[in-house]
Structure 1
Amino acid sequence: MSNERRYVDLLFRASKKFASWDPEKHLEVGDWGRLATGRPFWAFWRPKRCVFVKEGNIYQDKIAEKYGIPLPKVLGEENPNELTWVTSLNVRDMDVSTSMGKQTPELAECSVKVGFQFVSGGGEAAVLLMVNDSVTTIDPATSLRQLLGEEALRDRVVVSEAHRCASYASYLASSKTKDVVIGLSSKASEGSSSTQAYPRWVRTNKTGYFKGKADNSGERKYYPLYKLVSVKAAGGNTARHSLDSTVNGEVPPEVLPLPDALPLWMSST
């Protein structure tokens, strides 16, 4: 299994959201399309990926207007310097003061930093950090169920929620890693001829896979996490199911949100 697949898989199981392997790829709530393996059919030996292929946008295509789906709402814009994170299920938050002996002087001076412990025997672990994160979402989520009537979107997926941030860091820890502290430094790099400081990610543990981008402009230009829903109805006869559900005191399917889309390797099992 590739690093990309392990990273996406671990964070999806914890959040039911897709972690982007390429956060610089532009994404908007309302985008619709399909999930693809990201490999030619003849390259069967390559690891199966899970790539969202955009085919349109329900707002730009006037589909949302047709069904009265409300415009997206943006949450979290009031905390420009806040650090947020999403982790796999085998990760625990750690008090960074307990690992001061492991921290470099640069990391110790970071005002933005966080520590994580990895459950012993829990296998590989994944962490996504976001600075200046905002969430754009469609509310209510049940309004997207009306898309079941749109033939062009049948068996497609729709971006119902998207995170945007100014800086991000993705970390995939090996099964032998015990803990890590990650911080955002604003000091000039050692050996640099420039006196101007540019933000960059630093960490205590150099094992595992790590990548990130840091920006001091404050502009939210990375899209590291998003939610997809499937435009397909669960169950059989909707009308009959609705009647039975009402009689049994269950929630009728027409007031439920669309089902979450799954990574291809999960949906095929």
Structure 2
Amino acid sequence: MGFVLNPKCIAQPGMFNLGSPQSSRKFIDLIFAASSKWANWDPPKQIHVGDYGTIDKKTGEFEKEGNIYEDVTTAEIATAHPPQTAAKDKTFEISSNHVRRTEFSLEPTASIPGIAEASIKGEWRFSSKRGALLVMNQPRSTYIPPKALLKKLVDVPELKDKYLATETFSCPAYSLYLSSGEDEAVRLALLATVPLPTAVPLSVGGSIQSSWWNQNTSGLFRCASDNEYSYTPLYTLKRIRKPGLLRRDSPLPSTDDDDDLWEDVAQPWDPLDSDGEEQEFEDEVFD
């Protein structure tokens, strides 16, 4: 199943639109500040463990150049240490600053089939400052084995000044939201539905589908659902640590520890304003 922007899955954008570099960069920046992980603005565009490349500074999106498990120069080393997959979680939710989860409630007159049995449902309150929310259903983490492979890749020329995806989070359903910068209470739910016709018993070949329901999404809302792990909403990037000066009281780094050889990748842009633009700071003048 490919990625479909269902009318139920996308609200009318406010200041942002789907093609705006500022929208993706602002969302990614907010999620990174809350989790130290990179959000994928386009989750159907899968990112795999071992992918390496760069970050587009204007959009914040990852640009793949290769994969250590596929490239001739690294495949022999990498395939001896295949990626590992952790057990899936029920849900994984990340919300930025100025966002808080509140009790989910609907008007007594509201009638939404399946809302009571929804696997995910919640209400998030956003303040007048722009906020971001990422929700994943049954995500699972795939990662490069620690203490085994990374230290063998430090001297690979192709990885110099590149970013390596050391962990990815995939899921069969996700929703992401970038608020409009106004006070609002957003409600989300992942509803299970049985496709019609239902003449064939589910145990024989039918399947339960899921779809996202949303309310009060005045900002930018994207979501999708599938029966497969088709989406990669979140990932971790590392880069080879550049040699630097040590403080006199700092311990010498140990080459047995991956953390001393590789470091997390930080945002390659200056602090962003509410609209996702890099802030310009004037130099202070002192008399």
Counterpart of 1:224 in structure 2: which amino acid?
Answer: P
Unaligned runs of at least 5 residues, structure 1: 38-47
Q: CA RMSD in A?
A: 3.1
State the aligned residue count.
Answer: 239
In structure 1, the partner of 2:162 is: 156
SS in 2 for 1:199: strand
Counterpart of 1:19 in structure 2: which amino acid?
Answer: A
In structure 1, the partner of 2:219 is: 208
Tell me, yes or no, if structure 1 residue 10 matches structure 2 residue 30: yes
TM-score, normalised relative to structure 1:
0.76
In structure 1, the partner of 2:121 is: 114
Provide closer, same or farther for how the CA distance between residues 263 and 103 of structure 1 changes in structure 2, counting only shifts above 3 A: farther
Deviations 1:137-185, CA, capped at 9 Å, x for gaps: 1231684244221112110110011011001111112222332221012
SS in 2 for 1:152: helix
Following superposition, which runs of at least 4 residues in structure 1 exceed 4 angstroms of deviation? Answer: 194-198, 266-269
Distance in 1 (CA, whole Å) between partners of 2:121 and 2:252 is 41
SS in 1 for 2:107: helix
Counterpart of 1:55 in structure 2: which amino acid?
Answer: E
Contact kept, 8 Å, 2:24 with 2:61, in 1: the verdict is no
Q: Structure 2 residue aligned with 1:53, among 52, 63, 67?
A: 63
Unaligned runs of at least 5 residues, structure 2: 1-20, 199-207, 272-277, 280-287
In structure 2, the partner of 1:40 is: none
What displacement does 1:222 show?
Answer: 0.6
SS in 2 for 1:235: coil
In structure 2, the partner of 1:42 is: none
Counterpart of 1:131 in structure 2: which amino acid?
Answer: N
Distance in 2 (CA, whole Å) between partners of 1:103 and 1:252 is 63
Distance in 1 (CA, whole Å) between partners of 2:100 and 2:109 is 19
Tell me, yes or no, if structure 1 residue 73 matches structure 2 residue 80: no
Contact kept, 8 Å, 2:150 with 2:258, in 1: the verdict is no
Distance in 1 (CA, whole Å) between partners of 2:167 and 2:24 is 21
Within a 5 Å distance, the mapping from 1:160-171 to structure 2 comes to: 160-171=166-177
Tell me, yes or no, if structure 1 residue 22 matches structure 2 residue 42: yes
In structure 1, the partner of 2:10 is: none
Contact kept, 8 Å, 1:116 with 1:180, in 2: the verdict is yes
Distance in 1 (CA, whole Å) between partners of 2:179 and 2:63 is 28
In structure 2, the partner of 1:45 is: none
Counterpart of 2:63 in structure 1: which amino acid?
Answer: V
SS in 2 for 1:170: strand
